Amino acid sequence: MKERIVENIKRLSLHDSILKKIDRIEDKLILTVDWAKIEDYTEKNIEEGLVLGNCRLTFYELNNESLTIDFRGTPGNENIAPKEIEFDIKLFKEWLILDNKSVDENKYCLNGLIDYENKYGWLDWNFYFSKFELSWNNYITWEEWRNGKIVKKE
């Protein structure tokens, strides 16, 4: 991929992104997503936000990972206590990421609804990392997006 950022992950939004693929290689986590936004691309002197097409988000030296599922927001499951679960790649097939945030400089959190044990629940996936890289090929500006343009598919 020809474009990339490696600093200031806080400018990244994955709200409503589709997680297309997860690769785990030793302590590296590679997420391939369709759709992302960044507040700016100052590395290329672009001060306005960008809407990205398919992109790859890589976290290096992943550690202290935790996944917590909470069913209390779904009808009939209000009395089921939140619980820690193990990472299972099958849980994330075409997962719609509803929220993401940089908790602090090296802690990240992804959130969204998943189907777990035939019940829908809210997943909080937290982890620490030493560095990250977001890379992509195609993008449009926020202004172009607001005017109806869509990102070219690869």
Please say whether the beta carbons of 125 and 67 come within 8 A.
yes
- pLDDT tens-digit map of 77-116: 888 899 999 998 888 887 888 889 888 889 999 999 888 8
Identify the CA nearest to 34 among candidates 147, 139, 143: 139
The predicted pLDDT at position 96 comes to 85
Cα–Cα distance measured from residue 14 to residue 149, given in angstroms and rounded to the nearest whole number? 19
Question: Under a CB-based contact definition with an 8 Å cutoff, are residues 26 and 48 in contact?
Answer: no
Task: Answer yes or no: is pLDDT of 154 > 80.
Answer: no
Residues 6 or more apart in contact with residue 65 via CB below 8 angstroms: 87, 125, 126, 127, 128
Per-residue model confidence as pLDDT tens digits over 10-52: 999 999 999 999 999 999 999 999 999 999 999 999 999 999 9
Give Cα 31 to chain centroid, integer Å. 7
CA distance linking residue 140 with residue 136, whole number of Å: 12
Structure tokens at 126: 């937290």
The domain ranges of the chain are 3-146
pLDDT of residue 94: 72
* pLDDT of res. 129: 97
